[in-house]
Amino acid sequence: MIIAWQFIIMIALTCSFFAWFLFRPISQSQSLSGDESNIAINQQRQDELKSDINQGLIADDQYQVAESEIISTLATELRLDQKESIAIKPLPWTLTIILIFSVLSLGIYSQLAPKMISSENSLTEPMSMSDSIERLQSYIKENPGDFQALKMLGLAQIGIGNVNQSIEAFESAYLINSKDIDLLLQYASAIAASQDGQFDGKSKVLIDEALSLDPQSIQVLYFSGIVAAHEGNLSGAIEFWEKALYLMSTNHPDRNIIEEALGTVLNLQVK
């Protein structure tokens, strides 16, 4: 355990304060004799008693009784003070407190201080996409019915250009859940990527399935417009994209994409 020098200084200053705090009152108490201390205390009591009667807080008879009790108590204490008193040695107490406080502080510091990390356990570099794919594949071998894992594998495969492998992963996920809108669109996009960007055949079927499941989905409307445009159905594409823009908020991050696509189709229609 490495201890910061600031922490050592803090312990030293704190121990010094406790030593002064303990030693000062004990030293002062030893400098006064027992008789002087008792007399001073009882004199203070009499002063307080006089203050009370001057303020009308007590009656005269009560004052007399209280004064007699104070005098009687003083006499008793003076007789008892003649016995041997127990000497209090401030130095041992000071050393004991310093030792206890130091041990306690070091214990707390060892629990709160940041642990040193060896070079072997230092932060490793993030996994590459290939490593992530290998781990997903290993996981899927043991959990072949995990829909989310299969969909993530498809996305990872297409992310590094493995289009055919992504189609296989999406197909396996599709057999488990054919009602997932995001999967249908990703699956259709992967097939279109294998067909030079053409959304026809299986790709078109998947987008039509997504449209039937959620005709208000902005993403589905966008892809449906692409399919219509590829088929030469410019009016259909315009209808899909205008509906998507209508459903979009003005600050939607994909709004510019659809507006540009719509503008391109409108220009083609005019020509």
Number of domains comprising the chain: 1
In this structure, is residue 163 part of a structural domain? Answer: no
In this structure, is residue 175 part of a structural domain? Answer: no
In this structure, is residue 178 part of a structural domain? Answer: no
Per-residue pLDDT tens digits for 240-260: 999 999 999 989 888 999 999
In this structure, is residue 30 part of a structural domain? Answer: yes
Range of the structural domain that residue 30 is part of: 5-81+88-112
Distance from C-alpha of 127 to C-alpha of 257, rounded to nearest angstrom: 32
Per-residue pLDDT tens digits for 118-138: 444 444 556 678 888 899 899
**pTM confidence score:** 0.54
Distance from C-alpha of 180 to C-alpha of 190, rounded to nearest angstrom: 16
Contacts of 247 (CB under 8 A, 6+ apart): 216, 218, 221
Residue located via tokens 């007789």 = 79
Residues of the chain with pLDDT under 50: 1-3, 26-33, 83-88, 116-123
